[in-house]
């Protein structure tokens, strides 16, 4: 079983241009993310997937310098970018991570891959540790992991016809699902399109914490966290949570940043 992590990133972020190569504790954010993802023992390969636009040439150059696998594809049709990369790397299972999540947890990736492949009700077509509202998020923003089979990804690639479905890669799998009154730790569902969906929740609700990097405030917060980690490369998301428990005021740094909606598309997307 070839389980491939594809880390999505580009230089033309609307709220923080060039963010994936911004430094966090002396290392570019992309290096932090790749290093964290590579620690997951369930993965066969890890690759960065960026666009063919000239603006993303620095990402390719950085990956080549670091010895990271890098695949390139469409700037706006990210679903196509993922599918083509998955095929090129002969993936059986695709793990989606974004390059703006430098606190991503390798142990959490392993938990989700294990549940996806062999948990109760397996095999599944799609697995995630969060779904958009009205579903309740239980993990901090910035720990997001999505997993799908190549067969499911190919169907989405063929059938998804809405701009937001192509830009955000995975909505086609779970659109139309209605949350139950009580979300369990592991919830198995059948989507209106017939996909077998697994939602992996945490027992406690930490969905109000924002650990992703999309704005200068987000970057400042993550830099503060890494400063407190004192250069450690191996840590868990619970170690980060302990920092916030000791210093709850840290969360105020980016408290005013609004999360993007799953159907929100980049205004620069070519129609």
pLDDT tens for residues 53-66?
A: 999 999 999 999 99
pLDDT for the residue 97: 98
Distance CA(253)–CA(239), nearest Å, equals 19
Q: Is residue 230 part of a domain?
A: yes
Mean pLDDT of the chain: 94
Q: Is residue 206 part of a domain?
A: yes
**21 with 56: CB under 8 angstroms?**
no
pTM of the model: 0.94
- For the chain, the domain total comes to 1
Distance CA(202)–CA(226), nearest Å, equals 24
Q: Is residue 259 part of a domain?
A: no
What CATH number does residue 59 fall under? 3.90.550.10
Q: Is residue 47 part of a domain?
A: yes
Residue 152 Cα to chain centre, angstroms: 18
**75 with 269: CB under 8 angstroms?**
no
Mean pLDDT for 27-40 is 98
Nearest to 86 by CA among 131, 144, 45: 45
- Name the band, by pLDDT with cuts 50, 70 and 90, for residue 270: very low
Cβ count near 86 (within 10 Å): 26
pLDDT for the residue 263: 52
Q: Is residue 48 part of a domain?
A: yes
Q: Is residue 269 part of a domain?
A: no
Q: Is residue 43 part of a domain?
A: yes
Q: Is the confidence at residue 271, as pLDDT, over 50?
A: no
Token pair listed for 138: 């239980």
Mean pLDDT for 80-85 is 98
Cβ count near 251 (within 10 Å): 15
Helix (H) or strand (E) holding 63: helix 57-66
pLDDT for the residue 14: 83
Q: 1 vs 17, 34, 93, 212, 252, CA distance in Å?
A: 36, 21, 8, 30, 43
Q: pLDDT tens, 198-217?
A: 999 999 999 999 999 999 99
Give residue 205's domain range: 3-252
pLDDT for the residue 267: 46
Q: Is residue 221 part of a domain?
A: yes
Q: Is the confidence at residue 149, as pLDDT, over 60?
A: yes
Q: What percent of the chain has pLDDT over 90?
A: 89
Distance CA(209)–CA(161), nearest Å, equals 33
Token pair listed for 263: 């159907």
């Amino acid at each position: 079983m070839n389980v491939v992590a594809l880390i999505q990133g580009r230089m033309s972020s609307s709220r923080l241009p060039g963010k994936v190569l911004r430094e966090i504790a002396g290392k570019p954010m992309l290096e932090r993310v790749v290093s964290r993802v590579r620690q997951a023992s369930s993965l066969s390969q890890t690759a960065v997937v960026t666009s063919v636009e000239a603006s993303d040439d620095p990402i390719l150059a950085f990956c080549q310098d670091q010895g990271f696998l890098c695949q390139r594809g469409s700037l706006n049709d990210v679903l196509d970018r993922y599918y083509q990369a998955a095929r090129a790397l002969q993936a059986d299972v695709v793990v989606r991570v974004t390059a703006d999540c430098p606190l991503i947890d390798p142990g959490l990736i392993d938990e989700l891959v294990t549940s996806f492949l062999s948990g109760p009700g397996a095999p599944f077509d799609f697995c995630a540790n969060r779904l958009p509202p009205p579903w309740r998020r239980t993990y901090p923003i910035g720990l997001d992991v999505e997993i799908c089979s190549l067969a499911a990804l190919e169907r989405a690639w063929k059938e998804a016809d809405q701009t937001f479905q192509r830009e955000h890669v995975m909505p086609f799998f779970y659109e139309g699902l209605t949350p139950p009154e009580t979300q369990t730790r592991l919830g198995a569902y059948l989507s209106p399109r017939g996909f077998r969906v697994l939602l992996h929740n945490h027992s406690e609700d930490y969905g109000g914490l924002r650990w992703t990097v999309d704005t200068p405030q987000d970057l400042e917060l993550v830099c503060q966290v890494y400063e407190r980690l004192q250069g450690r490369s191996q840590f868990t998301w619970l170690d980060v949570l302990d920092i916030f428990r000791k210093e709850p005021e840290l969360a105020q740094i980016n408290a005013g940043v609004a999360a993007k909606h799953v159907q929100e598309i980049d205004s620069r997307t070519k129609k």
